[in-house]
Structure 1
Amino acid sequence: MSIWAVIVAAGKGERFGSYKPLVKIGDKYMLEYSVETISKNSKIEGIVVVCLSNYIQTVRELLKKYDLVKYVVPGGKLRQDSVRKGLLKVPESVEFILVHDAARPFVSADIIERSIDAAIQNGSCVVCVGVNDTVKRVEDGFIKETLDRDSIFLAQTPQIFRRKELLEAFENAASKRLIFTDESSLMEFYGIRPFVVLGDKSNIKVTYPNDLELVKNFINSNVDFKNLSERVYEDEKIRRMQNYFIGIGEDIHPFDKERPLYLGGVLIPFEKGLKGHSDADVLLHALIDALLGAAGLDDIGTLFPDTDPKYHGISSLTLLQKVSTLVYARGFKIQNIDMIVFAEKPKISPFKHEIISVISNALNIDKIKVNLKGKTSEGLGFLGREEGILAKAVVLLKKEEN
């Protein structure tokens, strides 16, 4: 499996104020960091560096100690022109091209290795990182909508594609006079869905002078760059895990022949209902307590006491919606709900999908996040004597930041 790298260092650095690749960071020039890291990967067979034409000789002299650097070529006016010029220097027999920005000097050996493995397995790879802040779409100066940040990622480099497909995509863009800001956008337009590998925030892109101060601080703080990406990845994983909260709810009600039976907000055709102050929906009461527990709030009996006449006969769906408002207001999102109804009769399975639909609609979540099971007690005890119904619920919440 033949792989070459194209390292792009052809930007004029107008936002930075000077030619970034030849800025000194610690004991090396910025360009050297990524060249050195990529050179050490055993799967890379050659490197093409694309730089500004007036720095060709300087860059060639700087990089002559790296045997894997086969060509140093002048770039074009646009990024895609520069990448294409580097790509044309790669032998036709090469299958994959790894494109990386010289302005990301601290790409780790781990990211390079994982990206290559993913590209070989999936045909392409783009390194991305998630976002921590709440994401808004703005039109005319006003917020139009809030996007689900769990599905939003920021593209970094390296980006790896098959050489033939990447070259064809460049030719297609040139013929239509289209401009793309990175290779993944180009390939998406060409009809290829790139595979994503999680990167890390140490793979910073130096764009403004303040960014350079940040990376110099990394150098001065004696950061171990060999293990930095692994530590950042693990820290991020732990931080995200700490944002998850589990709640457990349980409720039990005796049967009452004079009342209708409600389970999960659905009226169940049965000869007896459940005894209670509200509509006695034992399943929703268990779910409500699970939600309240995960969110760190008081239990259902404290919030809606059976001594308060305003809750007499109230629909438990109304209580569920009140609780969901409290939960969402505290910055939580519902990730998953799992519930069990224990009863000899009635059987839950005929009403399972309707109950799931009602609950998901009440909570404004996808039905795939709600699960329900029915169990019997095998004729044992209170339930086995058909004296009532027991329900349990487990909820997983994710704490949203900001």
Structure 2
Amino acid sequence: MTDSAPLSSGSVAVVLLAGGVGARAGFGRPKQLVPIGGKSVLRWSLDAFAAHPAIGAGVLVGDDDVVAAAGPLPASWTTAAPGIERQQSVANALGALADWSDDAILLVHDAARPGVSAAVIDRLLAAVAEGAVAATPTLPVPDTLITEVDGVAGDVTDRSRIARVQTPQAFRLGALRRAHAGAGDEAATDDAQLVRRLGHAVATVPGDARLHKLTYADDLIILSALLGGGKAAMRTAVGMGYDVHRLVPGKPMWIGGIEIEHSHGLEGHSDADVALHALTDAILGALADGDIGDHFPPSDPQWRGAASWRFLAFAAERVAKRGGRIAHVDLTIIAEAPKIGPHRAAIRARLSEILAISIETISVKATTTERLGFTGRREGIAAQAIATLELPEN
């Protein structure tokens, strides 16, 4: 194998890693499927690689649900199963490229970085074509760096010798194969580290701020701005929702996305989560996008017994597709029983997961009607919600 073999059209393959669950983001679904600007985080990378003329094939590493949700794959792409760790996922993808020459160039990219640009791909390919065995994009560290122990600031670290590493990373395929074959049980957070262990230098090329990684829920706001292309100013929109469901014996009680032990449950076509229904209507109202019955009619048997978090997640996705964000939600549950107070923290946490927003922007309250009316007689439970959105100006 010649590590400095020249680059030719179609001699580049891509491994796109989409096997993680993204637990730290708290989205309640794989973070690579969260929408930004009308398409999923994963689709941003797929489209960028598909549009590059030098790329001849690719391997999408993800489970069956992720692969199905990704949509049509580019021509000459295949799939591979994810491993428990990132390293195993890459190894599985290398197996799918067994018929590719060691001289080929391989790009390895984390799907959680949707802002792939042709310019970064070109810089990486040029570095490897000019003789580097491996190359990685990096960005300088703008902040002052310190050591910190038990909440006390320590010494300043010289940031001039530190850089932020991004993906995609580029490799001569043979070198990456040898690196993985010799890794054994030694773990690495990226493939460039494995190649360095073989004694190869890893070239660096200028990265791109748009390659910001989606790790936490607030990163979605940053990425929406970075990938939005300087869209128009935002406007505030407020929507209100209200819902009521009857209490009946012998059914599970779902309120706010969690199950609460109680003698009665709520009657309805779906799981009758009165709180999520009110909040879904509030978001749809702020979008001027109808109500929950328009999108999930009770006459449709497919929604019988459905989990109401799906309705709320749908409403949140409608916000993202409009290029907006959910700034704040305020939910009030009106019931004599069960007592909501002991479950308030769990409901807020669950709403944070479903809506992919910070828990600090979620208010959950409970009240009674002083034993007046149908809620006071314990015949049913009501909920009202207000959602505040930020949407692009038309």
- Using a 3 Å threshold, how does the CA distance of structure 1 residues 209 and 142 change in structure 2: closer, same or farther? closer
Provide the secondary structure at the position in 2 that maps to 1:195.
strand
From 96, 106, 110, the equivalent of 2:115 is 106
Q: Spell out, residue by residue over 1:86-124, the C-alpha distance to the aligned partner (whole angstroms, 9 max, x if none).
A: 122113325211011111111211111111111211222
Give the corresponding residue for 2:179: 169
Contact map agreement 2:134 2:192 (CA 8 A) in 1: no
1:180 and 2:188 matched: yes
The CA distance in 2 between the partners of 1:209 and 1:160, in whole Å, is 29
- Residue 20 (1) aligns with residue 20 (2): no
Structure 1 residues 223, 107: CA separation in 2 closer, same or farther (over 3 Å shift)? farther
Aligned to 1:35: 46
In structure 2, which of residues 163, 171, 177 is the aligned counterpart of residue 153 of structure 1?
A: 163
- How big is the shift at 1:56? 3.5
RMSD: 2.2
How many pairs are equivalent? 218
**Is the 8 Å Cα contact of residues 32 and 63 (structure 1) preserved in structure 2?**
no
Identify the match of residue 44 of structure 1 among 55, 80, 87: 55
Shift of residue 139 of structure 1?
A: 6.0
Higher gyration radius (CA):
1
Q: CA deviation at 1:141?
A: 6.3
The answer to whether the 8 Å contact 1:75/1:85 transfers is yes
> Which residue of 70, 84, 87 maps to 2:91?
84
Counterpart in the other structure of 1:206: 214
**Quick check: 1:11–1:52 contact (8 Å CA) kept in 2?**
no
Is residue 72 from structure 1 mapped to residue 79 from structure 2 by the alignment?
Answer: yes
Which residue in 2 is equivalent to 1:315?
none
Counterpart residue type for residue 38 of structure 2: D
Distance in 2 (alpha carbons) for counterparts of 1:124 and 1:220: 31
Please tell me whether the aligned partners of residues 210 and 226 of structure 2 are also in contact (alpha carbons under 8 angstroms): no
> 1:221, 1:98 → 2: CA distance?
25
Residues 315-326 of structure 1: pairs in structure 2 closer than 5 A: none
> What is the rounded CA distance, in whole Å, between the counterparts of 1:81 and 1:208 in structure 2?
24
CA distance in 2, matches of 1:219, 1:144: 36
CA-to-aligned-CA distance 1:350-395 (integer Å, 9 cap, x gap): xxxxxxxxxxxxxxxxxxxxxxxxxxxxxxxxxxxxxxxxxxxxxx
Question: C-alpha offsets along residues 215-271 of structure 1, whole Å, 9 cap, x if unaligned?
Answer: 2234556459xxxxxxxxxxxxxxxxxxxxxxxxxxxxxxxxxxxxxxxxxxxxxxx
What is the one-letter code of the residue matched to 2:209? K
Taking a change above 3 Å as real, the CA distance of residues 221 and 55 of structure 1, as seen in their structure-2 partners, is closer
Q: Determine if contact 1:138/1:144 at 8 Å carries over to the other structure.
A: yes
The question of whether the paired residues in 2 share the 8 Å contact of 1:41 and 1:113 is answered with: no
CA–CA separation in structure 2 for the residues paired with 1:113 and 1:85: 26
* 1:51 CA drift (Å): 0.9
TM-score when normalising by structure 2? 0.52
Deviations 1:50-100 (A, max 9, x none): 0134434443xx023x224x2122110001111111122113325211011
Please show how residues 244-323 of structure 1 align to structure 2 within 5 Å: none
CA positional deviation for 1:148 = 2.0
Which residue of 126, 141, 146 maps to 1:131? 141
Q: Deviations over 1:177-210 (max 9, x none)?
A: 1111111122222322200001121211111111
CA-CA distance at 1:144 after TM superposition: 5.9
Contact residue 73 and residue 86 of structure 1 kept, 8 A: yes
Q: Give the superposition deviation at 1:37.
A: 1.0
In 1, Cα distance between equivalents of 2:200 and 2:144: 29
Name the % identity. 31
Which amino acid is 1:97 matched to? L
Distance in 2 separating the partners of 1:48 and 1:119: 20
Q: SS of 1:98's equivalent? A: strand
* Structure 1 contact 53–73 (Cα < 8 Å) conserved: no
Asked if the contact 1:6–1:99 (Cα under 8 Å) also holds between the matched residues in 2, the reply is yes
Aligned 8 A contact 1:53 1:75 in 2: no
How far apart, in 2, do the equivalents of 1:110 and 1:55 lie? Answer: 27
Check whether the contact 2:135–2:202 (CA below 8 A) recurs between aligned residues.
Answer: yes
Q: Sort the Cα spacing of 1:168 and 1:109 in 2 relative to 1 into closer, same or farther, 3 A.
A: same
Following the alignment from structure 2 to structure 1, what is the Cα–Cα distance between the partners of residues 39 and 25?
18
Evaluate the alpha carbon distance shift between residue 170 and residue 222 of structure 1 in structure 2; reply closer, same or farther with a 3 A threshold: same
Distance 1:221 1:127 in 2: 22
1 or 2, which has the higher helix percentage?
A: 1
Q: 5+ unaligned residues in a row in structure 2: which ranges?
A: 1-6, 233-394
> Cα gap change, 1:111/1:203 in structure 2, threshold over 3 Å: closer, same or farther?
same
CA apart distance, 1:140: 7.0
Q: Deviations over 1:312-354 (max 9, x none)?
A: xxxxxxxxxxxxxxxxxxxxxxxxxxxxxxxxxxxxxxxxxxx
Which consecutive unaligned segments of at least 5 residues does structure 1 have? 225-402
Contact 1:87–1:167 (8 Å) recurs in 2: yes
**Compared CA separation, residues 183 and 139, structure 1 to 2 (3 A):** farther
Conserved 8 A contact 1:11-1:19: yes
The 2-side partners of 1:29 and 1:6 are apart by 18
Alignment TM-score, normalising by the size of structure 1: 0.51
Structure 2 counterpart of 1:35, one-letter code: L
2:371 match: none
